[in-house]
Amino acid sequence: MIPIADRWFEMTRIDDGITLLWEPHVIPLMRCNIWHVRGRDRDLMIDTGMGIASLTEAAKNLLGKAVTAVATHTHADHIGSHHEFESTIVHKHEAENLGKPSEEGTLLFSDFTDDELIKIRVAGYEIDSDLITALPHAGYDLRSYRIHPARVTEIVEEGDVVETGDRRFEILHLPGHSPGSMGLWEASTGTLFSGDALYDGPLLDELGHSDIPAYVRTMKRLRELPVTVVHAGHDPSFGRERLVELCDEYLKKRA
């Protein structure tokens, strides 16, 4: 019997401008970091989780002005609640998938193929059950889960700039995990939002649209970036020393 969650999202304030939200009842493989960045003229919500429960309702006390939902890439665990936002940002190589998702998404272990499970386990993740450990509300049917189409309002590419009025983020195209994976780089503070291009956990580079040679180039690029802090798509944030270690580990394995 799956329990019913008291609340679906947890959140913690990182500093005056950044709040981290996450879904504790989603298994680690799919538990995305959702980053709220406060701006003078507009806020950013960098990735939006699975979309199992309403993100805008859970974060309503944070969202006091115009908010743009950014997709670091368009896997289900990162765009599940994008449809709740009027304004979105996505890389040009994945804009079509945000507006018309190619996969319906699933919460069911039984929907994974043997090949998918092998790749996930070889990467370093344990998966032997459904993707959530609690229900968002009584009567929720895991089979009802779907990824909803989202409005595509701003398509970006390498070198474009996303501004909030008092913050300025450069778009870095970081392919490998997916064709349109991207990071948001604030050079003035050394802050990088890296999505799934880099995080402190098992990286997935053998998905259907992954590209290992591109991932190698991305890692070489990231290794030279003068970061102060990396806020990633999964797992804890880290600094430059750990960034170099993670890049070197990947390059030793794949380059």
Asked if the structure places residue 26 within a domain, the reply is yes
Asked if the structure places residue 18 within a domain, the reply is yes
Q: Give the pLDDT of residue 201.
A: 96
Q: Give the pLDDT of residue 172.
A: 99
Q: Say how far apart CA 104 and CA 115 lie, in whole Å.
A: 19
Asked if the structure places residue 67 within a domain, the reply is yes
Q: Give the pLDDT of residue 154.
A: 98
Asked if the structure places residue 2 within a domain, the reply is no
Q: Give the pLDDT of residue 103.
A: 87
Identify the segments of the chain with pLDDT beneath 70.
none
Between the alpha carbon of residue 178 and those of residues 42, 68, 134, the distances in Å are: 27, 22, 29
Sign of the CA dihedral with 136 first, then 60, 79, and 226 last = negative
Asked if the structure places residue 33 within a domain, the reply is yes
Q: Give the pLDDT of residue 178.
A: 97
Q: What's the CATH code of the domain at 32?
A: 3.60.15.10
For 115-164, write each residue's pLDDT tens digit.
999 989 998 998 999 999 999 999 999 999 999 999 999 999 999 999 99
Task: Tell me which residue range forms the domain holding 161.
Answer: 10-254
Q: Give the pLDDT of residue 1.
A: 80
Chain center to CA of 94: 14
Number of structural domains in the chain:
1
Q: Give the pLDDT of residue 64.
A: 74
Asked if the structure places residue 5 within a domain, the reply is no
Asked if the structure places residue 142 within a domain, the reply is yes
Asked if the structure places residue 27 within a domain, the reply is yes
> What values do phi and psi take at 39, rounded to 5?
-130, 165
